[in-house]
Amino acid sequence: MKEKKRLIAEFEAQSFTQIIFPHADTDWAEYLDKAQKTFVNIINTIRKYQKCLVIAYDIDEVKAHFKDENNLEFVQYITDDTWARDCSALSLEQNDGTVLLDFIFNGWGNKFDAKKDNAMTHNIAHKYLTCKLKNIDFILEGGAVESNGRGTILTTSVCMLNKNRNPQFNAIQITQKLKAFFHAEHILYLNHGYLAGDDTDSHIDTLARFIDEKTIMYVKCDNINDEHYHELKLMEEELQMTAKEQDLELISLPMCDALYFEAERLPATYANFLFVNGAVLVPLYGVSQDKEALQIFRNTFKNRDVIGIDCSVLVRQHGSLHCVTMNFPANVNI
């Protein structure tokens, strides 16, 4: 029998969401109370729909933020930071069940210390009761790959082929490895698109996302005076060509008005939304496009609740809702 292997899509049924609670030794220290309140809001929203596994620097201290422990699980581990999407395991379906792939995380090309984050999955693996864990000697972040669940992986060349990740391999070798890791038929690279203030070298989850097997949501910029206009227009043209070749549908999301913190433009994006069972959580930033973005999601997801989450604090650290979470599929139990 031919082995079945695929990177499970985020829009499929889930068991739980994993999240790392911020602590004083992270970059949130300057406004830790605001950050923790944002994380509590995210966790409380998630647990209305499914379990949430909270990585806690101190379990008792983190538990004190919640009125009850319904749909909450805690595991103690002290991390460098809180970007669960990029240092957590990815879920691969095989004939004999799900295997969790633990790739190397090097702080987005050695920009930040990430030794503790890189070791997190190994140290909390006992919480994943039904799954094998496989260590992969390859640098890759969860936010860098999007799967349609049927053999197509969407990524960006600026990130995936960057010499600050896997310099020992060329583009052809990296593509071959991605196909082997995920048993993918197609690796689709976007060569254009970026967000000012982004530390990740253009993660795909800030720009374009699969919402089902045949549909991609992406960020579109209509303001010709915005610094992103040209690159996002070229990205849109790439997506249109890909959609024609792969028989895909496209849905555009608005580009946010420019947001700044300490004189730096922030990478605010509605593409950083989060799937949970029965709902889609949409990052909001207190800008005029929030209402339009929510309406697009409501028009698109008729059978899911659409819930806006204030992420104006998260984006101060150059990430958003999807970046601070990791989904695990239905057959991974905790």
pLDDT score for 3: 56
70-81 average pLDDT score: 98
The full set of domains in the chain, from first to last, is 6-329 (3.75.10.10)
243-255 average pLDDT score: 97
The lowest-confidence range among 1-5, 79-83, 126-130, 202-206 is 1-5
Q: Is it the case that residue 310 has pLDDT exceeding 80? A: yes
Q: Is it the case that residue 171 has pLDDT exceeding 60? A: yes
- For 65-130, what is the HEC assignment? CCCCCCCEEEEECCCCCCCHHHHCCEEEEECCEEEEEEEECCHHHHCCCCHHHHHHHHHHHHHCCC
Predicted TM-score of the model (pTM): 0.97
156-163 average pLDDT score: 98
pLDDT score for 1: 40
Q: Is it the case that residue 12 has pLDDT exceeding 90? A: yes
In the structure encoding, which two tokens stand for residue 266, read together? 């922030």
Q: Is it the case that residue 309 has pLDDT exceeding 60? A: yes
pLDDT score for 197: 96
Q: How far is CA 81 from CA 72, 103, 107, 177, 192, in A?
A: 21, 17, 10, 28, 28
Q: Is it the case that residue 22 has pLDDT exceeding 70? A: yes
Q: How confident is the model over 256-293, as pLDDT tens digits?
A: 999 999 999 999 999 999 999 999 999 999 999 999 99
Q: How confident is the model over 198-223, as pLDDT tens digits?
A: 999 999 999 999 999 999 999 999 99
Average pLDDT, the chain: 96
What is the percentage of the chain residues whose pLDDT exceeds 70?
99
CA distance 155 to 173: 15
Q: Which amino acid is at 323?
A: C
Q: How confident is the model over 99-143, as pLDDT tens digits?
A: 999 999 999 999 999 999 999 999 999 999 778 999 999 999 999
Closest by CA to 142, choosing from 308, 306, 330, 272, is: 272
